[in-house]
Amino acid sequence: MQIGLVGLPRSGKTTFFNLLTGANAPTGFAATGEIHHGSAAVPDSRIDFLTGLYRPRKTVYARIDFEDIPGTYPQGGAARAARLLDEARGADALVQVIPAFSGAGEKGPGEQLSPYRDLLDFYSELILADLDAVEKRLERLRSNPKGKNNTAARIAVLERLRETLEQERPAAALPLGDDERQLLSGQIFLSEKPLIAALNLDEQKLTVHDYPGRSRVLKYTAERGIPVIEICARIEAEIGELPPADRDAFLADLGLEESGLDRLARTAYERLGLISFFTVGPDEVRAWTIRRGATARQAAGKIHSDIERGFIRAEIFQYAALARLGSVARVREAGLFRLEGKNYPVQDGDIIDFRFNV
């Protein structure tokens, strides 16, 4: 999974990126305007438990790749903004980091801190960048009508998209069929990517869960299905540098039970409809990420195409049963091992042993 961190300059993207990935990229005035790439293991206490139980040679957590994309102020020019946003086209989800900490006020000349307006502005920016992309494609098709097959059909789909975007509605509001997608050569638009809003709060505000315009932000995001998380990037990054034993107490002081990475990972999995299944053994305990509803055979394909092709059946038990009963032998005694066929929809927390021949 890849997540793009986006938003205004000095909103705390790089600070958050450092917190998520353990990187040490320059922030504030030291920033160079470069894009940063990094990744993080998805925290999962179930994997910790399984590692304690199986004592494998290797433990592999699921991973999220992060891309920290520098922002521009609106007055920085639409072209530069669009070019930077272009970098986000490969991401599975976007996280808009919204500054809501005091001192974040000096953004543009004479501008006040307004998380709500930032949210709106950014949403329009995504739509405008898409509109720009659609218009460029239309132009190309029209100037070279013989260049590709189905030119008329391509133009028709793009025209519908343009109409939607011109009404300031996101591309996500125009559901496209598979053949229409194909006409667009599978292009995914920014305004149809899942968006998560990360409000970057002051330490004090995090404890009281407040910032200017909070109720409007919550109403707007709820209406559009945009999940919201609250972070305090700077303080959380500082806590992340403490010895692990001390971190929990400091997080608890801020009213946080989970780290910023925990909260973002959980929110992204939910928003993207992702679940985890596990494979276990003396060699390796490992978490795998699949879409909710994926079948046992598709899950096998995640591990290796040979296992998918030669799939016979899957031997499955639930993590929750193992955690409750304490040993695999007791899970077996309790009759909680199941054999499932290729169409079984894998559940979050399934521990799976695939039987296959090649």
Ligand X SMILES: Nc1nc2c(ncn2[C@@H]2O[C@H](COP(=O)(O)OP(=O)(O)O)[C@@H](O)[C@H]2O)c(=O)[nH]1
Interface residues with ligand X (CB under 6 A) are 9-15, 27-28, 31, 101, 103, 200, 202, 232-234
Q: Which does 293 bind (CB under 5 to 8 A by kind): Mg ion, ligand X, none?
A: none
CB nearer ligand X, residue 36 or residue 46:
36
Q: Report, in Å, the least distance between residue 252 CB and Mg ion.
A: 29
Q: Which residues pair with 67 in a beta bridge?
A: 4, 37
Residue 248 CB, shortest distance to ligand X, in Å, is 20
Between 232 and 290, name the residue whose CB sits nearer to ligand X. 232
Place of tokens 């028709």: 156
Nearest to 319 by CA among 275, 355, 263: 275
Query: In the complex with ligand X, which residue's Cβ is closer, 106 or 159?
Result: 106
> Of 5, 12, 14, 95, which lies in the binding site for Mg ion, with binding defined by CB under 5 A?
14
Binding residues for Mg ion restricted to 30-59, rule: CB under 5 A: 31
**For the chain, the helix, strand and coil percentages under 3-state DSSP, each to the nearest 5:** 45, 20, 30
Least Cβ distance, residue 195 to Mg ion (angstroms): 19
**Contact between 15 and Mg ion per CB under 5 A:** no
Element (H, E) at 321: helix 319-325
CB 35, min distance to ligand X, A: 11
Q: Find all residues with CB under 8 Å of 299, minimum gap 6, and list them.
A: 277, 288, 290, 314, 346, 352
CB of 156 to ligand X, least distance (A): 40
* CB-based contact 277:299 (threshold 8 Å): yes
Nearer to ligand X, 10 or 286 (CB): 10
Q: Which does 200 bind (CB under 5 to 8 A by kind): ligand X, Mg ion, none?
A: ligand X
Which residue matches tokens 């000095």? Answer: 10
Q: Cβ of residue 117: shortest distance to ligand X, in angstroms?
A: 17
Q: Which of 5, 30, 22 is nearest to 97 (CA)?
A: 5
Question: Measuring CA to CA, which residue among 125, 195, 136, 191 is closest to residue 164?
Answer: 191
Alpha carbon distance 116, 316 (integer Å): 47
Of 13 and 137, which has the nearer Cβ to ligand X? 13
Task: Collect all residues with Cβ–Cβ distance below 8 Å to 214 and sequence separation of at least 6.
Answer: 115
Q: Which does 6 bind (CB under 5 to 8 A by kind): ligand X, Mg ion, none?
A: none
- Start-to-end CA distance of the chain, whole Å, equals 29
Nearest to ligand X of 71, 170 (CB atom): 71
Binding piece for Mg ion, criterion CB under 5 A, among 11-19, 221-229, 246-254, 261-269: 11-19
HSE toward the beta carbon, residue 124, CA cutoff 13 A: 10
Report the residue number, 5 or 351, with the smaller CB distance to Mg ion: 5
Nearest-CB residue for Mg ion: 14
Q: What are phi and psi of 228, to 5 degrees?
A: -120, 135
* Shortest Å, Cβ 51 to ligand X: 32
Length reported for the chain: 358
Stretch that binds Mg ion, among 9-17, 101-109, 182-190, 236-244 (CB under 5 A): 9-17
Residue entry with tokens 């809003």: 197
Contacting positions for Mg ion (CB under 5 A)? 13-14, 31
